Amino acid sequence: MIGVAVLGSTGSVGESTLDVLARHPQRFRLVAIAAHRNAGRLARQVLDWQPAYAALADQDAAHELVTLLGGNAPNTRVLVGAGALEEIAQLTEVQCVMAAIVGAAGLKSTLAAARAGKRLLLANKESMVMAGPLLLEAVRTAGATLLPIDSEHNAIFQCLPPGARPGIAPPGLKRVLLTASGGPFRATPREALAAVTPEAACAHPNWVMGRKISVDSATLMNKGLELIEACLLFGLTPSQVEILVHPQSIVHSLVEYVDGSMLAQLSAPDMRTPIAHALAWPERIDSGVEFLDLLKAGRLDFQAPDYDRFRCLALAQAAARAGGLHPVLLNAANEVAVQAFLERRLNFPGIAAVIEAVVERGAGGAIHGLEDVLAADAEGRQRACERIVGITRSESVRDAHA
């Protein structure tokens, strides 16, 4: 039996992971689940699964969890605080860690799993974007196994030759092509983007995802972060990663070799496919996903992204080229700007405007340790908050004079 910990179990990837685990009770044992603050959903999971450990980073949410459980999970130990996620990631009875905490909040627990030599299923792309060199070094030093969960990176991994190592491009690889659905605003006139709502941005045409990643998909920042992650994961330069808009979300990525061969991974748009692949690798197990019917799909379309409409993608490419701490600033500003948009304090084009203002002022520099990453993250967040306040004040002044 393989012991599994799911960090971010209440999110879409976490719940998909639990679905796959439930199909293979003789192969996997759920040891621990963790979330940031969703006590209600975590309580339901604890009652269903009765894991040995459950953790919430938020103190108040943890107290709520205990109340909701009401003594009905006597064998589950409830852990509290940000350090609890790191504790779960290092448990001796856990061999496999699903790292699915959204955003920078998942960085420390992801690093902890790598340093503990676990099989690390990486769904938290921000950990690689922010601290890729540190994470890859931890994987190498501890002998951990790193398997990507993002459908695009998992597709690339499936198309690489056996024995490919994290951070090192296999011989003969020319480039990779990341596909993007284009999100809900792929055909929306540019002048109409200022009026789009958070609800519209979160209504992804193909995938069921959380609110933050849904907005990232709508701005194409998600694809920009994936580009940075792909460079680090597979030892590529930004010029070796091309973005293709593929509305059907059936071809998840492609790998081109120097002999002219191009390999692609195709499947229905369902995260259980890459999750099942990584859980059982190098074997294959049932994921519960509907099998792909190419005749029913009918056609597969590809087009170049509109970098003027989706400014976030261009900003991410620039950060990838700059390297060092620039992706940290980019990610921090994006997280703050997206939250402001979801709270209706910033309009949709304002997300890119805030990010651009932050990265233009950022000093950048090399990553020497985790403290550099955390300092740049704090800097990016502070400057993004200041920029949003400035935008809000300017709009208030305009409204007053209107």
Residues 22 and 154 in one domain: no
Residues 91 and 156 in one domain: no
Residues 136 and 27 in one domain: yes
CATH code assigned at 81: 3.40.50.720
- pLDDT tens-digit map of 80-90: 988 999 999 99
Question: What integer is the mean pLDDT of 161-182?
Answer: 93
State which of 117, 149, 181 marks the end of a domain. Answer: 149
Which residue's structure tokens are 């920078």? 104
In this model, does residue 311 exceed pLDDT 80?
yes
Confidence band, pLDDT 50/70/90 cuts, at residue 390: confident
Residue 362, CA atoms < 13 Å, CB-side half-sphere: 34
The kind and range of the H/E element at 399 are helix 370-401
Is the residue at 317 inside a domain? no
Residues 187 and 289 in one domain: yes
Is the residue at 211 inside a domain? yes
pLDDT at 82: 80
State which of 149, 181, 206 marks the end of a domain. Answer: 149
Question: What integer is the mean pLDDT of 20-34?
Answer: 98
Is the residue at 327 inside a domain? yes
Q: Using CA atoms, how far apart are residues 372 and 47, in angstroms rounded to an integer?
A: 40
Is 171 exposed, middle or buried, given 0-12, 13-18 or 19+ CB atoms closer than 10 A?
A: exposed
Helix 311-322 and helix 221-234, axial crossing angle in degrees, nearest 10: 20
The rounded mean pLDDT for the chain is 93
Q: Can you give the pTM of this predicted structure?
A: 0.92
In this model, does residue 400 exceed pLDDT 50?
no
Residues 266 and 368 in one domain: no
**Residue 368: strand, helix, or coil:** coil
Q: Using CA atoms, how far apart are residues 160 and 171, in angstroms rounded to an integer?
A: 10
Which residues are CB-neighbours of 356 under 8 A, at least 6 positions away? 311, 315
Looking at per-residue pLDDT, the higher value among 333 and 365 belongs to 333
Is the residue at 275 inside a domain? no
In this model, does residue 397 exceed pLDDT 50?
no
Residues 165 and 290 in one domain: yes
**Residue 30 to residues 5, 6, 12, 109, 243, Cα–Cα distance (Å):** 6, 8, 17, 17, 36
CATH code assigned at 386: 1.10.1740.10
Q: Are 161 and 270 in contact (CB under 8 A)?
A: no
CA–CA–CA angle 4, 6, 11 (5° rounding):
155
Is the residue at 78 inside a domain? yes
Q: Are 115 and 89 in contact (CB under 8 A)?
A: no
Q: Are 124 and 100 in contact (CB under 8 A)?
A: yes
State which of 108, 133, 149 marks the end of a domain. Answer: 149
Q: Given its phi and psi angles, is residue 375 left (phi above 0), alpha (psi -120 to 50 degrees) or beta?
A: alpha
Share of the chain above pLDDT 90, in %: 85
Is the residue at 99 inside a domain? yes
Tally of domains within the chain: 3
Q: Using CA atoms, how far apart are residues 94 and 307, in angstroms rounded to an integer?
A: 43
Q: Using CA atoms, how far apart are residues 159 and 153, in angstroms rounded to an integer?
A: 10
Residues 335 and 399 in one domain: yes
Residues 132 and 161 in one domain: no
Residues 137 and 190 in one domain: no
Residues 250 and 376 in one domain: no
Residues 98 and 118 in one domain: yes
Question: What integer is the mean pLDDT of 363-371?
Answer: 89
- pLDDT tens-digit map of 324-340: 999 999 999 999 999 99
Beta strands per DSSP E along 115-233: 119-122, 145-148, 173-180
Q: Using CA atoms, how far apart are residues 69 and 32, in angstroms rounded to an integer?
A: 16
Residues 63 and 20 in one domain: yes
What distance lies between CA 111 and its chain's CA centroid? 15
Q: Are 247 and 213 in contact (CB under 8 A)?
A: no
pLDDT at 361: 84
| Range(s) of the domain holding residue 155 | 150-270+280-311
- pLDDT tens-digit map of 188-246: 998 999 999 999 999 877 766 788 889 999 999 999 999 999 999 999 999 999 999 99
Question: What integer is the mean pLDDT of 155-159?
Answer: 97
**DSSP string of 307-356, one letter each residue:** TTT-HHHHHHHHHHHH-TTHHHHHHHHHHHHHHHHHTTSS-HHHHHHHHH
Q: Are 349 and 193 in contact (CB under 8 A)?
A: yes
pLDDT at 393: 61
